[in-house]
Amino acid sequence: MSLQELYNKHCSQGNKYSYGTSGFRMHNSVLDTVMFSTGIVVVLRSLYLKSQYVGVMITASHNPPQDNGVKIVEPHGEMLVQDWEPIATQLANAAATSFQEFESTLHSIAKKLDIDLATDERANVVVARDSRESGPRLLAALKAGISVFSNTNVVDFGLLTTPQLHFLTHILNSEEPGSAVDESQYYSYFLSKWDQLAELYHLESLPFHLTIDCANGVGAEKAQRLIQLAKPLLQKSLSTTNGQTDKPELLNESCGADFVKTNQFFPANCTPEPGQLYCSFDGDADRVVFYYCDSSAEKKFHLLDGDKIAILLAKLLAKLLQDAQLTAALSVGVVQTAYANGSSTKYIQETLQIPVSCTKTGVKHLHHEAVSKYDIGIYFEANGHGTAVFSPKFHSLVEESLATTQEKSESQIKALKSLQLFSQLINQTVGDAISDMLAVIAALCIMKLTPEQWDSWYQDLPNRLTKAIVPDRSVFVSTNAERQLVSPEGLQAKIDAIVAQYPQGRSFVRASGTEDAVRIYAEADTTENAVELSSRVAELLK
């Protein structure tokens, strides 16, 4: 088919698109145009990177089932470099204007990038999607965009979690060209790291059972596969709930990481028992939060969110560095966003004496800060999205130290081996619910912690995260890592005046980059005050 015929088949006019916090994300009915243009952008990206594989994930993650979206993945598993986001946005909006506008924009982008549109160089693209009903239709539009070029190779992995796609994109670019790469490599890689840690610490059983709420999403089948492939030690202590991937309307419905974090309550189909641990993935399994119930008569819910996960990993990794005698040589830092609970930031800085950076929302911002500032950069958003990244200096120092073991104590060698294994067990490409879950289980076993002990290090300030629908969220412009608004004019001063009336009060408002809404975060000394602060700030938006 000609470019015009493909365009006519997949594009429609009138919508406005923007590459947001995590790619394009909207109601599925308006996404065909953007899928078609994204197909072209990923081919251009692959050609620009000398035919490396570029990944595309079709997902709307935590959003409701009728939404969908697309995330572009760099050859080594990072998110699309930020200077290409405007290119993706420009081409999508041109496609939504007219064929003439689209064609001329495509030519001018190609010229700027110095790419010959008629090239016979091969472009390599790797695609996957989550379990949404609209996925196959949108995949067809994406493939139509890719087919505009004559020499393309598309590896279609079908259904995957987002982090699996990131991981496999990296593997495809690391293996010899032509090597067979498949999903099973994901499970064998991470399970083997977990098994080696279990062996190093002589683990014989897990001190709790872990129930995984899979949000009725793609993570269900993948978590079940992981459990099937695991050795009995792990296998007998893990089970799943909310795994109805065959009912797409149930995706993220009263379950999943976003539901649990926002409502601060157990998901549907979870009957909590004291002493046991629970976790929730989101729709594409790139986030995880943990929780448990206490032994009170009402079985009170306790959340162990991204802040608590970051602290667990920071505490363990800092201790291992100390035992490995590498504290002076390697820096450790934690990266958070404005959503991090004030108590967590205080605990990391004052008790753990570990530096904390604060960035804008979006793992792409946290990842960049963690990689550029620290040898061990632990980054987590409170919503459970995050990982820990290890610098090349970390890898070479640990390797060198392990190569000369004769003058080292047994505990030093054990710490070095543990550091190396954790740097592999934790997915280096992106936040990953499955790999983070394995790292948390390993950390709890090694530190011999119950969920209550993990939770007891500090008390979260009571908080509320809500959203408001406004006529135009684009007027909400933030600064200072999204902690303050510069527009609409005067609104920040009003928020500040209200916040000042609450002990330990903090509140901010920012436009979501994944939903058509404005988010309101509030925390204060008591639950009543946090709720009141949140609703008074929400009132200001009306």
* Catalytic residue ranges: 61
Question: By the 8 A CB rule, do 59 and 130 touch?
Answer: yes
Q: How far is the CB of 131 from ligand G16 (least distance, A)?
A: 15
Backbone angles phi, psi at 358, to 5 degrees: -120, 125
Applying CB under 6 A, the span of 29-37, 81-89, 359-367, 446-454 interacting with ligand G16 comes to 359-367
Query: Taking CB under 6 A as the rule, does residue 512 contact ligand G16?
Result: yes
Name the token pair of 133: 């009903």
Name the token pair of 282: 């989101």
Which residue's CB is nearer to ligand G16, number 22 or number 90? 22
Query: Taking CB under 6 A as the rule, does residue 361 contact ligand G16?
Result: yes
Applying CB under 6 A, the span of 46-54, 145-153, 280-288, 448-456 interacting with ligand G16 comes to 280-288
Which residue's CB is nearer to ligand G16, number 363 or number 416? 363
Q: How far is the CB of 258 from ligand G16 (least distance, A)?
A: 7
Name the token pair of 194: 């977990």
Name the token pair of 320: 């291992």
Which residue's CB is nearer to ligand G16, number 10 or number 519? 519
Count the residues of the shown chain that bind ligand G16, applying the rule CB under 6 A. Answer: 18
Query: Taking CB under 6 A as the rule, does residue 514 contact ligand G16?
Result: yes
Query: Taking CB under 6 A as the rule, does residue 360 contact ligand G16?
Result: no
Q: Which among 39, 26, 50, 99 is positioned nearest to 72, based on CA atoms?
A: 39
Query: Taking CB under 6 A as the rule, does residue 432 contact ligand G16?
Result: no
Q: How far is the CB of 451 from ligand G16 (least distance, A)?
A: 24
Name the token pair of 235: 């296998």
Query: Taking CB under 6 A as the rule, does residue 61 contact ligand G16?
Result: yes
Please state, as a whole number, how many other Cβ atoms lie within 10 Å of the Cβ of residue 362.
20
Query: In one letter, which amino acid is 372?
Result: S
Backbone angles phi, psi at 360, to 5 degrees: -65, 160
301-328: burial string, b at 16+ Cβ within 10 Å, e else = bbbbbbbbbbbbbbbbbbebbebbebee
| β-strands 376-380, 332-337 pairing | parallel
Q: d(Cα 284, Cα 263) in Å, to the nearest integer?
A: 20
- Member of 85, 221, 460, 515 binding ligand G16 (CB under 6 A): 515
Q: How far is the CB of 37 from ligand G16 (least distance, A)?
A: 20
Q: d(Cα 138, Cα 130) in Å, to the nearest integer?
A: 11
Query: Taking CB under 6 A as the rule, does residue 336 contact ligand G16?
Result: no
Query: Taking CB under 6 A as the rule, does residue 383 contact ligand G16?
Result: yes
> Is 453 buried (19+), middle (13-18) or exposed (0-12) by CB count in 10 A?
exposed
Q: Which among 342, 428, 434, 328 is positioned nearest to 377, based on CA atoms?
A: 428
- Member of 221, 381, 455, 460 binding ligand G16 (CB under 6 A): 381
- Member of 78, 213, 282, 523 binding ligand G16 (CB under 6 A): 282
Question: By the 8 A CB rule, do 435 and 427 touch?
Answer: yes
Which residue's CB is nearer to ligand G16, number 381 or number 532? 381
Binding mask 13-52 for ligand G16 (x = CB under 6 A): --------xx------------------------------
- Member of 185, 342, 513, 516 binding ligand G16 (CB under 6 A): 513
Question: By the 8 A CB rule, do 128 and 281 touch?
Answer: no
Which residue's CB is nearer to ligand G16, number 354 or number 430? 430
Question: By the 8 A CB rule, do 281 and 213 touch?
Answer: yes
- Member of 41, 55, 57, 62 binding ligand G16 (CB under 6 A): 62
Q: How far is the CB of 61 from ligand G16 (least distance, A)?
A: 3
CB half-sphere exposure, 450, CA atoms < 13 A: 10
Applying CB under 6 A, the span of 341-349, 414-422, 435-443, 506-514 interacting with ligand G16 comes to 506-514
Query: Taking CB under 6 A as the rule, does residue 64 contact ligand G16?
Result: no
Strand order in the sheet with 288-293: 238-241, 210-213, 277-281, 288-293, 301-304
Binding site for ligand G16 (CB under 6 A): 21-22, 61-62, 282, 286-287, 361-363, 381, 383, 385, 512-515, 519
